[in-house]
Structure formats: structure tokens, C-alpha cells
Structure 1
């Protein structure tokens, strides 16, 4: 059976990546509008004709597109921030919890996670759920991404050679990712998010520092690692590096998983000490965007989860 797919916003960075991942597949047929993609009537027709729609649009345009769908059968994956904490939408991080993949498969409305939140939630949700990090704890997350995550204007700026090697941003602490990062980890206080962008195209590191002595029972590095390893045991796309591998590292390349839909989690720290650095490595355009969208699409269409992703 061939499924019809419409990517609304295929000219953007995420849309282009998704199209590239889908167009070679024999089990899918893409609805392409070409020069008519800005025609409201053509968009409405495509939105309602497709078996599944992937929205790669700004928030307001995504909300508008959803409003144009007037049937109950079209499945929607939205890559904007518009619905990531909205009622009636399923959060599209399949590894987030037991049963999340099944929830995605049974949903007609899925919000694709943000790239930074994927790393942060991947690190923190298992620890909060296990009670290792209390839900009322104030948590900080530091992260750096390649410039492709900033959209066309940032890409043009960096590729023109006029941008700095490293830029901290989101300095007002009102970043759009904070609500989903807080809700989907189960934390009760907004996380303190310190994002940055580097002078490379794609790939990212998301880091959470923990003072273990401030947590109930002063958990060891081994306890933290064990909780993450247990949570992701058997996962196709999320792996937890063993402590020996992590201890042998002298650094992490943020581009290390580029071109994949994988995410690797590390627990750094002195095993006899009282501090830990939790680090997630992923491709901001892979597991952080287009790869996750394809994974969610596969689940929603009843296809093997890793189709087109290995």
C-alpha cells in the first residue's frame, strides 16, 4: 500500500531534509505543489487529500494549516512549537516513556519535539520519573547547536563568514522551548535554559549539570547511569554510553551523529565525587527534527519504526 504525504513548508531547512528522506521510498507518494505552494486553495486541497501531512512552518502558519483540514482521517505531524504543550496533541518523542510510541501510532495529531528539548527530556525525564531528581528541583540546561537550527537568515549569516565562532542567545530567559522542556520532564519549575550556536552547520550537545550531593540520597554516578540505561534498554535510536567509554573521552564532537536519527547519552563525573555532567549528543536536523518526523510518520502509518532511517 502506498501512502500519500504532503510536506507543507518543504522549502525550509527541516522540510527539505524530510523530503530528502522520503522521496526515495517506494511506499510513499509525495504531493508536490511546486509553484502553487503559496496558493491557499491548492494547499487546502493537498492538506485534505494526503494520508499524512508534515507541517514545517512558523507557529501561526501551522495553526492556520491545521484549521484548513476539514476531515477526520488526515494525520498531522507539526514541527513548529505551536502544539507541543497543547491538549489533544501527542508529543512525538517515542522513547520518552513506555507506551509513547503506541500513543503516537494511535494519534492523528502529533507535535514533533524541538531539538534542544529532545536532548534535555532524554536526559532528565527518566531521572525525574525514577525520583532521583525531585520534580520540584530547579534545573539548568546548557546547549550548543549548529547554525542550521536558526533558519535561513542565520544560515546565510554564518555561511557568509560574518558571524562569530560562538554566540550565546536566549539571554532574556524567555526561550520558546522552555514550556515543553519543563512539562515533558515532569518538572514543576521552569528550567533555566542557556542555548548557544556555533560556527558549524549541524549537530548539537545538550548538557545538564547536577550536584549529586544536593539530591535525595546523594545518588552516585552509577545510579544515574543505571536509571538512564534501564529506561532506554532496547531502544533503536537512543543509546546510553557505558561509563568506561565515557571516562575514556577527553571531549565530545557535536557533529558526531550527523546524518543519523540517533541520540547518545553520556554521564560524566568522578565516580567518587559529588558532581555529574549529563550530556546528550544528537543531530539537530536528525533526531532533533527531520529524523524524528520520519520516525513519527512511520509509527502513525503502521510501518516499521526505522523505515528510511537506518
Structure 2
């Protein structure tokens, strides 16, 4: 399976009467393949979540295309059998008046009505064990009786009950404590080994570096750098990427403000957003890459 974004743009109408427009995403292109994790990194407001919503069919595309194995994305029942999303706030995905088990029952009603109750119960328990939870400790409980990490993993278990090939994980660890965060990340790594493609949307560079084979850096709705994670993190070319990396706190160094980026020909302020291959598997947005000082 391959998810392909080709020159995707999302424009919103803004202003009192909708007379102005705002490009939340502007000409973004990248892909996600089976058995790999791609990190989509950028600060708040960079367009990361908008891209995730377009992939999931939750918001429309203004221009460009999103395809899975060459077939355009459609917000349809069969599409969601293969593509699912898990979001930042797990509590918002559950109805507090129903037990957490209901998320599994809804899957059965929509996709597997012919499966017997006993067989379905076995499938649910197996999926819960796959995400390293004890069915006896989480089934039959209300959302407020479970932790954020447990609820998040139950949502991943729900996705596993379908024949999913792609998971959009949008800031799924930002509300979790450090130990639970590592558990969820290790779970995503295990799912990758099974052949699942994962788009990991985050503003946390350290987590993206930990998990992903490839990284896409987004700024103001435009890709400024992308490529193999070790190249993007080990030899950042775009000033914005360098600034993000400089802002990552380190335990063995005092906190310092990230140095401002120097003015140059890199994509900013309306310059060309074309990506240039600076090195094999390493792309950077720069109007005149050869003439830019490193």
C-alpha cells in the first residue's frame, strides 16, 4: 500500500464576509509506504493536522490529490476499513455515558454484523492484548475510569479490528506521561513491523527522530525539508529545521533561546517552494540552493 499526496492545497475563506483566503496547506507532496513510519513535523499552525484530516476525508481538498494505491481518497465506509486515525485527545473519542467497549461494538455493527457475539468477543480480546492491555482490566469500564494511555491504546485496538493498512497518528502522545508515551511509541513500532504504514503527526522532534524512517518538516503549510530521518536530523539544511532542532531541550545543557535564522534564499516569504535534492534522499526547499551558504 502507498499513500501519495501530490501538490495538495487547502484554502479557507476568512474575514467577516469570507472575502479573504488563507492557505493552511500549500502544495504539499510526500508519500507513506507499507511498513514505514513517516513523521510530519512542524510547530502549531503549520498545517499538520489539516493534512491528517484531508487524508482521513474529514475535510475537503482545495487542489491537488491524495490517493491510496492510485485510487483517490473518498470518505466512504470501505475506505475507512483500510485507513484509520487516532487523535491527540483520547477522551474526546468516547461518549462518557457509554462504557469504553462501545467503540468495538460500533465496529461490529458497521463492518461485521454477521460475526457471532462469541467470535467477536474473542477478536476484541485478542486486539486488546495486541496493544499490551489486559482485557479484564479495561473491558466493562467507563472512559473516566481509564487512563489516557489506556484509552489511546484501545483506539489503536479498534483500528486493528479492521483490515487497516494506514494509521494517521495525530499528536497521540502529547497528553500522555513519559512512561506511557514510550509504550505507545513502541506499539507503533511493532505495528510498523507487521507492515502497517504510519503517518506520525507531531511537533516533538525527539519523538519523530525516535520512531520514523523518513521525516517531513512543515512550515506555514509548506514542506521546507524532507528525507531520511538521519539525514534531516543529522545534517539539517533549512534554517527553519535548524531552528527547530536548536530549540529541543537537552538534559546536559542549559536552556538557551534558539538562534534566529539568517536571511537567505531558502523558501520564505513567497519564494519558490520547489524541493531540491541536496543529497540522495534529502530534499530542501530553496530558490537557489547552489548559491546558499550552509
Q: State the TM-score bracket (shorter-chain normalisation).
A: under 0.3
Q: From the two aligned structures, give the one with the greater strand fraction.
A: 2
* TM-score of the two chains, using structure 1 as the length reference: 0.25
* TM-score of the two chains, using structure 2 as the length reference: 0.26
- Of structures 1 and 2, the one scoring higher in RCO (CA 8 A, sep 6+) is 2
